[in-house]
Amino acid sequence: MSILAIAILILCLPVAMFGVLALFHNRIPRHGDFLAILTLGACLLFSTILFFKAFFSDGSTAVWGFGAVGWLAARAGNALSSGILVDNLTAAMLVVVTLISFLVHLFSVKYMEGDVRYGRYYCGLLFFTASMVGVVLASDLLWLYMSWELVGLSSYILIGHWYEKKSASDAAIKAFITTRIGDVGMLIGLLICYWKVGSLQYADLFAAVQTGGLAGGWHTIAGLGIFFGAMGKSAQFPLHVWLPDAMEGPTPVSALIHAATMVAAGVYLTARMLPFFDSTTLVFIAYIGGFTALFAATIAVVQDDIKKVLAYSTVSQLGYMVLGLGVGGYVSGMFHLTTHAFFKAGLFLGSGAVIYAMHHEQSMSRYGGLRRKMPVTTVCYLLATLALVGFPGFSGFWSKDAILADSLAYAMLHPIHAFLPIAGFVTVFLTAFYMFRQFFLTFTGKPRDSHAYEHAREAPWQMLVPLIVLGALAVVGGGFGGWFGAMNPKRGGEEQVDAIVRSGYVSTWTSRLSLSSVSTLSTESTPSTSEHGESAHGPEVEALHKAHYIAMGLSTILGLSGIGFGALFYFERRNGRALFDPARVAARFAPIHRLLWNKYYLDEIYMLCFVMSFRGIAWLAAWFDRLVIDSIVNFFGLLGVAGSWIVEIFDRYVVDGLGVNGAARVTALLGEGLSFSETGRVRQYIVSMVTGLLVAAGACAFAYFAF
């Protein structure tokens, strides 16, 4: 099978099964969940085949299959075309999406057991998977945008799965609207691209940027607009507020959509469009990412809800990816996306198992000691946590280290941007701290809710299998890093992609690939070194080599110290108390704690700035409407009533009285009056007839003779 055929199959299978389940899930046993799982299994199989076909063939061709369909021609001569693009980036994303989706489908069998809308839930999952595959396979921004909105819609449906709960339906609306705000920016970017370039194909856009067809202010605005869409989907700083609320959805949904795949769509878009962005946009991207990473990590430190901690952790990690992309680390950003998908999905599914065991209790202050009840979950959770923290040897270590090294090298070349690596390193410490706070609170110490603890038991196999798979991937996922080398867009044009792909040696690929991406950025930000030759690489090579070792060492130290601090505060010793009491520290720094606990009051600020002002405008508009518009309307209404009254009078007295009834009455009167002549005497009739005849003849004769 050709690569294109496989790609279309991966897209069509979930679509078809979605249609089947949407129509018939009530008539299929178990609402057709096994069909959904089988479909996703097939998709995973095909994605794996595609992955190996794409990666273990001639790496020099980045674009594998390309089918363009003639589309609507909005402008003469510029028909929009749409198609399927399968390159290494697509292939890797497909594996991530279908793998996580498959595991989540499997996990949901037990987690959603007995749910009132079980069939609808699986329809939503399939719909999401299809849309997400659409995002990944698109060869142009138009198709990507449409799939992007479908992804948003499915997210809305799945967050609001338990829509009887007010908070869930509110969260669904919030997620949808917040991401829509970002999408408006994206649409503006798209329109500028189409206006200036006349095409939305990635290849055309990149070519336009390289030849100068799209440059200057419009280029920056288009890039910022497209990244604004990515900010909405990937929950970057000003638009991140929806993601923690989205945890109102079922936990497997959080794992699939709000941790591993959909929120990664923004990162994917940024990576896909990376050759498109100019230096201003890239700096903006880097700062948004770095700030988000730090900002969300500080909030995660104080949260109590197990899923909220993971949600803010997700925001923070997405910030990492965006930071990595912003400083030009194409490979490191995508690598972190993949490893993060594995271990964060593992963490979410692990928290799902815990929540399932604790009868849908989500507050960590009621957990504790679950390690003795759920050993397998604990081990998987610990592995994923270590990966997220970046413990040396785990997958997260390699990917996070790559991002940190990229940002550090970037700051070494441009010292003015020193904030970026600092934010990154502080976040490493915070991440380690809050993750182990969570781990200790949940799995170690004494149970704080003994009743729920007594009933807790190890999750069933449908939950454990995904957990074990993801836990294993969290450990070894770093090994996939080598393949990500081949995803490089190769703007420099001289990378030895094949060598990197086949070298398999992690540190080599990290340095070489990140090197190429840094050089990509530097050639763009400093036009003087415009040539892409080896000579331009000198300072970047050195910076990155140095940065790499510094980053590795520093992140290890910071991570370990974060774990240590977590243990000091939250690991209960034999006497049942931790070394330091976190409550006392919180009381000591009460204003800061309150600020963090309330998430920097951002929701309240948004409420005040946007929601309230909109309500004020709406109130004003309603007032105006009632007072002015309505009175005008009522005036004309009264006018109509008066007019109709006049018309009624006319109708009654003139039309009815004179016209209709008058004619009838005249006829009746004539009949009454003339009936006396009808005597019934035949002879009289003859006489009158003859008289009439004579009169008529006389008149004729008179007329004849007189005139």
Partner 1 sequence: MTETILRQLDVFLADPTGLHTYLVVSALLFVLGLIACMARRNAIGILIGIELILNAAILNFMVFWHFRGGQATDSTLAGPMMGIFLIVLAACEAAIALAVLLNLYFNFGTVEVDSIRRMKR
Please pick, from the candidates 568, 583, 663, 686, the single residue that binds partner 1 as defined by CB under 8 A: 686
Instruction: Tell me the CA distances in angstroms from 228 to 126, 182, 340, one per residue in order.
Output: 27, 5, 22
Per CB under 8 A, 680 contacts partner 1: yes
User: x/- contact string, 380-399, with partner 1 (CB under 8 A)?
Assistant: --------------------
Q: Which stretch binds partner 1 (CB under 8 A): 279-287, 362-370, 415-423, 677-685?
A: 677-685
- Cβ nearer to partner 1, comparing 607 with 669: 669
CB 677 to partner 1: min, Å: 11
Please pick, from the candidates 167, 679, 696, 699, the single residue that binds partner 1 as defined by CB under 8 A: 679
Q: Are 423 and 440 in contact (CB under 8 A)?
A: no
Q: Are 296 and 240 in contact (CB under 8 A)?
A: yes
Could you tell me how many residues make up the chain?
707
- Cβ nearer to partner 1, comparing 575 with 677: 677
Q: Are 171 and 229 in contact (CB under 8 A)?
A: no
Q: Which stretch binds partner 1 (CB under 8 A): 103-111, 113-121, 452-460, 686-694?
A: 686-694
- Cβ nearer to partner 1, comparing 531 with 678: 678
Per CB under 8 A, 683 contacts partner 1: yes
Q: Which amino acid would we find at residue 307?
A: K
Q: Which stretch binds partner 1 (CB under 8 A): 163-171, 319-327, 482-490, 674-682?
A: 674-682
CB atoms within 10 A of CB 543: 20
- Cβ nearer to partner 1, comparing 587 with 687: 687
- Cβ nearer to partner 1, comparing 211 with 677: 677
| CA–CA dist 38, 25 (Å, integer) | 15
CB 680 to partner 1: min, Å: 3
Per CB under 8 A, 687 contacts partner 1: yes
Per CB under 8 A, 629 contacts partner 1: no
Footprint of partner 1 on 66-125 (CB under 8 A): none
Q: Are 437 and 301 in contact (CB under 8 A)?
A: yes
Q: Which stretch binds partner 1 (CB under 8 A): 82-90, 239-247, 248-256, 679-687?
A: 679-687
Per CB under 8 A, 678 contacts partner 1: yes
Per CB under 8 A, 568 contacts partner 1: no
DSSP code of residue 79:
E
CB atoms within 10 A of CB 265: 27
DSSP notation for 581-629:
-HHHHHHHTHHHHHHHHTGGGHHHHHIIIIIIHHHHHHHHHHHHIIIII
Q: Is 71 helix (H, G, I), strand (E, B) or coil?
A: strand
Give every CB contact of residue 263 below 8 A, 6+ residues apart in sequence. 233, 234, 235, 243, 257, 314, 318
How far, in whole angstroms, is CA 661 from its chain's centroid? 74
- Cβ nearer to partner 1, comparing 641 with 682: 682
Q: Quick one: 542 exposed, middle or buried, by C-beta within 10 A (0-12, 13-18, 19+)? A: middle
Report phi then psi at 456, rounded to 5.
-70, 140
CB 698 to partner 1: min, Å: 15
CA angle, 594 then 597 then 600, to 5°: 80
| CA–CA dist 549, 156 (Å, integer) | 43
CB 665 to partner 1: min, Å: 21
Q: Which stretch binds partner 1 (CB under 8 A): 69-77, 504-512, 531-539, 683-691?
A: 683-691
Per CB under 8 A, 690 contacts partner 1: yes
Per CB under 8 A, 674 contacts partner 1: no
Q: Are 68 and 82 in contact (CB under 8 A)?
A: yes
Residue 626 in tokens: 């009632």
Q: Which stretch binds partner 1 (CB under 8 A): 166-174, 192-200, 554-562, 678-686?
A: 678-686
- Cβ nearer to partner 1, comparing 584 with 681: 681
Per CB under 8 A, 58 contacts partner 1: no
Q: Where are the alpha helices (DSSP H) in 78-117?
A: 88-111
Instruction: Kindly compute the dihedral angle of the four CA atoms of residues 74, 75, 76, 79, in this order, to the nearest 10 degrees.
Output: -60
Per CB under 8 A, 696 contacts partner 1: no
Please pick, from the candidates 641, 646, 674, 682, the single residue that binds partner 1 as defined by CB under 8 A: 682
Per CB under 8 A, 673 contacts partner 1: no
Residues that bind partner 1 (CB under 8 A): 678-683, 686-687, 690
